[in-house]
Amino acid sequence: MRIAISVSNGFVSGPGEGDEVWIIEIEDNSGNYRVIERYENPARYAQQVRGVFMLKSVVDHGVNTVILSEIGAPAYRWAVEKGIKIYIFEGRVEDAIKSFIEGKLTEAQGPAPGQHHGGHGHHGSHHRHTEDVGNYDFLKPYVSNGMVIADLGCGDGYYCNFFKDYASRLYCVDIDEAAIEEVRRRFSNYGNVVILNEDVTNTSIPSGGVDLAFMSNIFHDIEDKEAAIKEVSRILRPGGRLLIIEFKKDVLFGPPFKLSPDEVEQYFSREGFVREGYVEVSPYHYMLVLKRSK
């Protein structure tokens, strides 16, 4: 049989983030395998719903079984419609193939956030989640009841699910129509949630009305970073905070372009932001706490 794997630097990656797609042929009886094709992941050039582009390429190669590190709701729904089987594995490609051959992997029964799950909400992919699904403890010191919060590049709403329980008003913003449709499906009945299908560099959020802005694994992917920084500065009240999650630079997988905490701080310092804190979110991610000082 043949399987496909999304790969970055020898590690299993998400469908929208992998640098390459590997097609693996497995001998049914012996368990031996070989890589029969490697090609550049077409998701790298997609502007919206990147994961679907990777999965489409797999179907075009006659494969219906895929190993990924994670999969978001839009891509998962597409896979189900096309009869694609998705298996989730975090780690090296060789270990993923071995686990698959040994029958240790189970088929995903729904969207599956992974350890290095981020997304690129600015360009249309979903959030990359943190290490434990539903573990929002690292955010709790920075939120309080009644806050106005903006989740910029919210993807399919993973963090919106946390912020909605605290915010008097929560702006969930993403340019990806499919991701925003998922947010509408999940949160449109909440009176405090405002859903905006907009670019994070140019939103309709009122100036100076936000207490807490949040970005998860999108800043590195934004082409016009200066515009994004000015927009965050515009919507935040004086003294408001930005929480920004990014990949650590020494992580082998994830996007090819990563930013250190010092580099992120340097970008935002031009608009008067100062660093208030640094949080180890997972072995793969950090979170920088920045305060608007003017």
Q: What residue type is 83 in one-letter code?
A: G
Domain ranges of the chain: 2-101, 137-292
**Of 2, 8, 65, whose CA–CA distance to 257 is shortest?**
8
Please tell me what DSSP assigns to residue 283: S
**Domain range 2-101, CATH architecture:** 2-Layer Sandwich (3.30)
CA 98 to each of CA 1, 168, 293: distance values in angstroms, whole numbers, following the listed order: 14, 49, 52
Torsion of Cα atoms, 257 then 260 then 263 then 265, to 10°: 130
Residue the block writes with tokens 């925003």: 180
- The helix (run of H) or strand (run of E) holding residue 287 is strand 285-292
d(CA 15, CA 125): 10
Residue 163 CA to residue 165 CA, distance in Å, equals 5
Q: What is the model's pLDDT at position 58?
A: 94
Where are the extended beta strands (E) located within 9-154?
Answer: 11-12, 20-26, 33-40, 65-68, 85-88, 147-152
Handedness of CA 186, 57, 116, 121 (dihedral sign): negative
**Domain boundaries 137-292, CATH class:** alpha beta
Q: Do domains 2-101 and 137-292 have the same CATH topology?
A: no
pLDDT by residue for the chain (294 residues), tens only, comes to 999 999 988 899 989 888 899 999 998 767 789 999 999 988 877 656 678 889 999 999 999 999 999 888 778 888 999 999 999 998 889 999 999 999 999 898 887 764 333 333 343 333 444 433 346 899 999 999 999 999 999 988 889 999 999 999 999 999 888 889 889 999 999 999 999 999 999 999 999 999 999 999 889 889 899 999 999 999 999 999 999 999 888 866 566 678 999 999 999 999 999 999 999 987 778 999 999 986
184: CB partners within 8 A, 6+ apart? 195
What is the value of pTM for the model shown? 0.66
DSSP per position, 176-202: -HHHHHHHHHHHTT-TTEEEE-S-TTS
Q: How many beta carbons lie within 10 A of that of residue 91, not counting itself?
A: 14
Asked if residues 229 and 267 have their Cβ atoms less than 8 Å apart, the reply is yes
| Alpha-helix residue ranges (DSSP H) falling in the chain | 50-60, 73-81, 93-101, 160-163, 177-187, 225-235, 261-269
Tokens (6 digits) for 19: 């640098």
